[in-house]
Amino acid sequence: MMAKTKKESIRFPANVLAPVGVFLQSRLQGLLKRKKEILKEDPFRDTSRTLDNAATDIEADEQFGHARVSAIRKELTRGIIQVRKALTRVKLGKYGICEECGQMIDTDRLAILPTATLCLTHEKKKTQAK
């Protein structure tokens, strides 16, 4: 029961979180824009491709292009989810607090990975468990 109280009592000051929220909003807009742009690079969006009898090398190139775009979109979607989660944590005043132990995440770690939800100790434990 004592640990739960500790988790709830540690917070970054609001004046520190405000610029973080602005940064994360900007990052979110960039990710959303990139996700929209990358879709234009998908060769499968060209409707005329289904009507042509492309050579196997062109077909393979289209397959590769589609797989590339799909992989990038998947990573962008993952990034968007992480940023939205971080923005929610900013709004709740829980940003920068480890989800496992309730201690503050090192600010150097947050500077490198602003969407971090675990302190380095718990991130290492999570990685070793995999």
Closest by Cα among 71, 97, 73, 79 to 24 = 79
pLDDT at 4: 46
pLDDT at 122: 93
pTM above 0.85? no
| CATH level 3 topology of 2-129 | Four Helix Bundle (Hemerythrin (Met), subunit A) (1.20.120)
Question: pLDDT tens digit string along 21-61?
Answer: 999 999 999 999 999 999 888 888 776 655 556 666 667 87
pLDDT at 50: 59
Closest by Cα among 114, 5, 86 to 106 = 114
Element (H, E) at 100: none
pLDDT at 75: 97
pLDDT at 57: 62
